[in-house]
A and B are shown apart, each in its own frame.
Chain A
Amino acid sequence: GENVEQHPSTLSVQEGDSAVIKCTYSDSASNYFPWYKQELGKRPQLIIDIRSNVGEKKDQRIAVTLNKTAKHFSLHITETQPEDSAVYFCAAISDGTPLVFGKGTRLSVIA
């Protein structure tokens, strides 16, 4: 089955700097890669996703890149703000299967 590795497990950045979180997956059939943000005590919320037919997707300060050959994808957050502090999870899915999540990255944005 699919296995998703995520790193780093913790990341601290200064406000205004960029943050990058990386994930690798094992199943070459995986074709959908969402990213979730989970604030303390709250539900995971989908923030951006990418499909395997696209190499990059951007939404304001958030972007995701996908390298199918290397089987890795990354989340990029630019101009970080204190409200970006949360745990971020990557996930992967092949058509019809349940999402497999990484273990999460705790991002701290220091004002």
Chain B
Amino acid sequence: DTGVSQNPRHKITKRGQNVTFRCDPISEHNRLYWYRQTLGQGPEFLTYFQNEAQLEKSRLLSDRFSAERPKGSFSTLEIQRTEQGDSAMYLCASGHRGQGYTFGSGTRLTVV
């Protein structure tokens, strides 16, 4: 494993379009986290999985956001009907319960 991998690195989309991001965690980590980071702010928690179970979703995660982790391996984060306010860096991280995370390089989303 070389770390947490995220694709794509950058995504530019028109307002109203749907986008999907992918995260491949470190294989031995059973927890996978999604965070959002805007300029000048710390990462804000969105949701996390333990294996394939989605255990918690932040109130930041509107109905337009959905995340999956089929088979407890990679995860996808989909945003439907994108809005300009969705523009941010979407960070994925993996780790074990009660420990620090390893972050991916993120997907930078720009909604125009």
What is the interface of chain B mostly: helix, strand, loop, or mixed? loop
Q: Which of A14-22, A39-47, A59-67, A69-77 contacts B (4 or more CB under 8 A)?
A: A39-47
User: A100–B41 contact, CB under 8 A?
Assistant: no
Given A43-B91, A43-B105, A44-B103, A32 and B98 touching (CB < 8 A)?
yes
Interface mask (B31-74 → A, CB under 8 Å = 1, otherwise 0): 00100000011111100100000001000000000000000000
Given A95-B97, A96-B97, A103 and B41 touching (CB < 8 A)?
yes
Which of A43, A100, A101 is in CB contact (< 8 Å) with B106? A43
**Chain A residues near B2 (CB, 8 Å)?**
none
Number of interface residues of B (CB under 8 A): 20
Q: B85: CB under 8 A from chain A?
A: no
Which of B42, B56, B98, B104 is in CB contact (< 8 Å) with A93? B98
Bound form: Cα–Cα A3–B109 in Å: 27
Interface residues of chain A, those whose CB is within 8 Å of chain B, are: 6, 31-32, 34, 36, 42-46, 49, 89, 91, 93, 95-104
Sampled A-B contacts (14; CB under 8 Å) = A34-B100, A36-B103, A43-B103, A44-B43, A45-B103, A46-B102, A89-B43, A95-B97, A95-B98, A96-B98, A99-B43, A101-B43, A103-B42, A104-B41
